[in-house]
Each structure stands twice: as C-alpha cells, then as structure tokens.
Amino acid sequence: MDQIKDRIEYGSRVMEYAIEYRARKTLGICVHPDGQIEVKAPVEASLEQIRSHVHRRASWIYRQQRYFDSLGIHTPERRYVSGESHLYLGRQYMLRVVDSERNEVHYKGNILEVECRHRRDARTLLLAWYRRRAEIKFGEYAAPLIARFGRYGVQPSGIALKEMATRWGSCTASGQILLNPRLVGAPRICIEYVIVHELCHLVYHNHTKAFYELLAREMPDWQKWKMKLERLMI
C-alpha cells in the first residue's frame, strides 16, 4: 500500500512520519539512520490511534534520532565527477570520469572508471552499472540462502530490485522479495543479512518474537551486520 504522511508536535519539535498500512495486528515504529520515521499500522487503525501511539513513543524516537545523528556519518551530495568516493560491495573506490568514444563502466584496484562521450552522462551510466551489478550479485548471494530456507517449506516467488527511500528490502504479500539496488554498495555479509531478514518474513509476516528467534537462528550475529549497514550506508 502507498504511504501517507502525518506529523505530531513534541515539545518545540515537529515529528513528521510516514504511515504504511499492512496486514498486521500491532502498531510499529521504525527510525531510519537518516532520521526518517516510519509507522507500520494495521489496516483498520485510525489516524488518531496512530498519532496517540507516536506521542507515547516520541521520547524514544527522539533518542534514536539523536543517536544516529551522533554517528556523524553522512553521504555528501553526489556530483559524479572524478575524485569522488563511491562504495561497491563494501569497498571504497575513487571515481574517474574519462572522455571516450564508448560508454562503459569498469573497476580495477581502487579505481571505478566511467568512460563516456559526454561527462553529463556519467551519473546515468554509473547508476545503470550499479543496477546491473545488483541484479547479478543479489541473485548470487540469495541462491544458497533460499535453498537453506527450503527446510521451512518456503520459497520466494521471485527477487526484484526496487528503489526505496527508507528501506533496504521488503517482502510482498505474494512472497516476492524486493531489494534496494543501493544495497550493492554494502559488504556481502550485510546484503545477506537483508536477504535473510526478508526470507524470515516468508515464515513469519510480522516482527514477532518468533520472527526474531528465526532470524537469530539463521544469522546469530545479525545485529552486528545491521548496525554496520546503518553506519556505512547513511
């Protein structure tokens, strides 16, 4: 379902948040590393119920936002010019944009090189390259994990890429796993954490105690990789 926006006042602050209605029984709040707030609500929940819940959790939300802000890790605005630092599978690469008769992206050592006829096309070429690499790598990493989850009698209906502003992955009602192509900048273990998390949703749709027990069984140190992902990819 589409998200809707709402806000509450907390002291002198205004807290804006996105609401996503789902087939679930309880209200849940997630604070993302960039400070954005997402509320997951049952389909039948009223706006007043949601606002009341956010008010009750406002102190915790503020603490989470302050914590992420204290990390001091922010990605500068990208201009896609030579000298910039770009991530691929957890490694930092220096971008080199060169004039060429062909449009091509490749990497060697610590250099990520974009050859292009027009430098204004560097961004488009690089993002398309990232997306192709994401399709390849996500499929490669997911295959053994999907096979492992076969013992629970589940299998995703497919894996696809989807640009998401506040999430790395999601699992649809039809069992399709959606992964954010930006995730290809993260280390393999962090990508596997996201895939395992979504595979667990094929067994337990909501973030229940049983869900987290399964997640811990399949990836005992998942919290470590979740934190690494949040710190690296802000």
Q: Give the contacts of 71 (CB within 8 A, at least 6 positions apart).
A: 33, 231, 234
- pLDDT at position 75, please? 55
Q: Give Cα 197 distance to the centre of its chain.
A: 11
pLDDT higher than threshold 70 for residue 38: yes
- pLDDT at position 166, please? 76
Specify the CATH number of the domain 85-232.
Answer: 3.30.2010.10
Model's pTM, two decimal places? 0.73
Sign of CA dihedral 172, 177, 223, 14: negative
- pLDDT at position 88, please? 96
For the segment 7-29, what is each residue's pLDDT rounded down to a tens digit?
999 888 889 999 988 888 899 99
At 135, the pLDDT band (50, 70, 90 cuts) reads very high
Q: Are 60 and 71 a contacting pair, CB within 8 Å?
A: no
Cα(78)–Cα(219) distance, integer angstroms: 34
Q: What residues does CATH 3.30.2010.10 cover in the chain?
A: 85-232
For the segment 73-120, what is each residue's pLDDT rounded down to a tens digit?
555 677 899 999 999 999 999 999 999 999 999 999 999 999 999 999
- pLDDT at position 230, please? 80
Cα(130)–Cα(88) distance, integer angstroms: 8
Cα(47)–Cα(77) distance, integer angstroms: 35
Distances (CA, A) of 200 to 56, 156, 186, 212, 217: 29, 10, 20, 9, 10
At 202, the pLDDT band (50, 70, 90 cuts) reads very high
At 35, the pLDDT band (50, 70, 90 cuts) reads confident
Q: Give Cα 3 distance to the centre of its chain.
A: 16
Cα(123)–Cα(115) distance, integer angstroms: 11
pLDDT higher than threshold 60 for residue 72: no
pLDDT higher than threshold 70 for residue 176: yes
Strands (E), the chain: 4-10, 13-22, 28-31, 37-42, 85-88, 91-99, 104-108, 111-116, 158-161, 169-171, 176-179
